[in-house]
Each structure stands twice: as C-alpha cells, then as structure tokens.
Amino acid sequence: MEVKELKAAFKETYNKNAEAVYFSPGRVNLIGEHTDYNGGFVFPCALSFGTYLLMSKNSDKKMRFKSLNQPEIVELELDQLTTPLEGRSWVNYPLGCIAQFVKRGIKIEEGYDMLIWGNVPNGAGLSSSAALEVVTAYAFNEQLGTGYDRTELAKIGQLSEHEFALVNCGIMDQFASAQGKKDHAIFLNCDTLQFELVPVKLQGVKVVISNTHSPHKLDSGAYNARVAECKTAVEQLNKVRPLKYLAELTEEEFKNVESAITDEVAHKRARHVVGEVQRTTDAVKALKAGDIEAFGKLMNASHVSLRDDYEVTGLQLDTMAEEAWKIEGVIGSRMTGGGFGGCTVSLVKDEAIDTFVAEVGKNYKAKTGLDAEFYIAEIGDGACRVE
C-alpha cells in the first residue's frame, strides 16, 4: 500500500488525520545464524520492505492499536502498559516496546491512536516482528522526546520480544532494522554491539530471497531450546575454560576443550556456533576483497552446519537450498533467520535468475507440495519518520 492509502485507512478508522508516519524495515541475514545470542558475529542487511506505523494523539488517554491485518481495535488504559496481553496477541510486540519506556521511568500522560501495516511476509523469517518492535520504539522515542540512540531502540525491541512475546532472541534482528543503511550490510559483534557498515557491491549478482511458505514459529519452543542447549555447553566448558559465550572460542580452542561438553546435543550446537562465527568473519573478508565465490561457498557451509549440527532447517529449507545448489550461476544459498521454516537467501548471477526461479520453484513444489515465492532483495535504510 502507498502512504496515502494508509493515511486514508487511518482517517477511516479513527475519523481524524494521522499526525505522523513511521517506517522500519525487515531484514535478511547473509551469514551468521544463531550466533547473536551466543555473543558472536552476524552479517544482516535491512530490506526495502517493512512495517509502517501511523499515529495521532487522542484526548481520552487511551492507547489504541489497529492492524490492517486484524479486524479489531485493541484499546488499553495508560495504567495497562506494562502487562502483556493473554493469548499471544500481536499487540504484545508494540506494547512490549512501550512498556520499556515506562520501565525506564518515562511518564506517558497522553493516549495515542495507532494504525499498523507491513509488507514483510509473516512467518517468512525476515523479521516482521523486529520491524514492528523497532518502528514502535522509534516512533515513541520521537513522540516522547526521550533521545535514545538507535542501538538503545534495538535493545528496547529485543526486551519486548523477551518479556512480552516470550522468545529469547538475540539482538540481530532489531539492530538491523534500526541501524540499516542502503546498499550496506552490518558486520555486528553481538557481544560488544560494535559494528561496521560494509558496502554490498555485487557486480552482475543479485540477492534472491526464496520463501518456502512453511511458516517458521520461533515461539514454538524449539528456538528457546537451542538457547538453553548453548547455555548447557557454556556451563560444561566452564569446568575447563572460563567463558561467557561460545563465540569466545576459536575453532582451534574449541577442539582443545570440546571433550568437556558431555551432552551430545549441546556439543553439536556449540560446534555450529564456533564454526559459524569463523565463517562469518571469513565471509566479510571475502566480500571486501571482491571474492564472491568464496562468500558463496561459506554460505553453503553455513547451511550444512545449520542442518546437521544445529538442526533448524527441515525438509522445506533443505529442499530449497539443495535445489538452488544445482543451478548453474548460483554462487551460494542457505537458510536465513531462525529456521524451522521461512526463507533461504541466495547469491545468483543475473543471467541465471529466471532459470533459478523456474527450476527451483518447480522442483521445490514437486518435493514439498508447496508453492515458493521469490523476491529480488533491495537493501534499504533503517527506521525513519516518513511524514
């Protein structure tokens, strides 16, 4: 939808004009999966599609939430802003962000009418939830005059996910949505939150996102289980080597101490994390050197590790990646996001894109019964005020 259409929808919903329009993007992670909550490196970029938030103050001191994807308006009093709604309501994502302002001692004394719409495919693993969190944090940061920087807004979004959506996610998704820059990816150290914006210059190559249409559900418990398994690995490693995060270990160091991890599943999870941190570092070096072929091989290796050691892929994602690997002109392909469904990300030469879409789509449907959807990714900017 165009902004003018969203403004018309706001007026139809609330019988007044929107006073402000905000936007925050979804993201795709090029490499570095399940490393963020393990203190490692990630390499995401913001996308050109995301979530819009239109808002206007009201005189009756109520918070009203309306999504164009939902039939009802959820209305809350100002003294209800720190309690999650029951039933995993979508409102918990923006509400959890507003709650963080209140918990920081910020007084909210006025009500707001809000209208939300996004074009990030839900359940695709492209961070529709982070886009919703960050656009809310960005909007209220401006409306309340709190002056938080973009990194703090990412932290607010992450805490919303932890406390209101009950997903123990890392910082990557919210950070990419807040800090993204057009035609750049973010090389982020998730422990220190130091980051570098790296130009993504792909001569004759496009980033293609392939949606399996097998929705991923991070709140299903499997994601939180992986977080717990990594904590188990850290606890057992601490008997022989003090550390806070798995990402502190080089591959060489890990080989020297891995026998301390007696839990077989935790050992596999740790092996993925340590290897993925190294792959991400190597991939960024390759991109800077213009060695796209090396970058692609590291993407492929990332998927194999996520399949075999982290076990977050499954039939749909594996089929999508494996079919991509068969196409001449595909430099690399891997699952992206939390896994358990969602999308793959591929580097595809321009002349191979039509073949890629046709062949991968056909073979994927033959093996899974599902129709795939493909997007040529445009790397966009982070959160902003549109009007």
4 CB-contact burial (10 Å; exposed 0-12 / middle 13-18 / buried 19+):
exposed
Q: Tell me, yes or no, if 318 is annotated catalytic.
A: no
Distance in angstroms (rounded) separating the CA atoms of residues 31 and 281: 9
Question: Would you state the structure tokens that stand for residue 172, as one six-digit string?
Answer: 């990557």
Residues 6+ apart with CB under 8 A from 156: 97, 100, 101, 133, 137, 148, 174
Among candidate residues 36, 113, 173, 309, the one labeled active-site is 173
Please check whether residue 356 is in contact with residue 324, taking contact to mean a CB–CB distance below 8 angstroms: yes
User: Which ranges of the chain does DSSP label H, i.e. alpha helix?
Assistant: 3-14, 92-103, 128-143, 150-163, 172-179, 222-237, 251-257, 264-288, 292-308, 315-325, 353-368
User: The sheet that has 384-385: what strands, in order across it?
Assistant: 73-77, 62-67, 111-118, 44-58, 20-29, 384-385
Burial readout 182-202 (b: 16 or more C-beta within 10 A, e: otherwise): eebbbbbbbbeeebeebebeb
CA–CA distance from 154 to each of 41, 242, 370 (Å)?
A: 16, 29, 34
Beta bridge partners of 58: 111
CA–CA distance from 88 to each of 85, 119, 265 (Å)?
A: 7, 21, 29
Distance in angstroms (rounded) separating the CA atoms of residues 59 and 268: 56
DSSP reduced 3-state for 79: helix
DSSP calls for 259-311: GG---HHHHHHHHHHHHHHHHHHHHHHHHHTT-HHHHHHHHHHHHHHHHHTS-
Distance in angstroms (rounded) separating the CA atoms of residues 202 and 183: 10
Which residues are tagged catalytic? 173
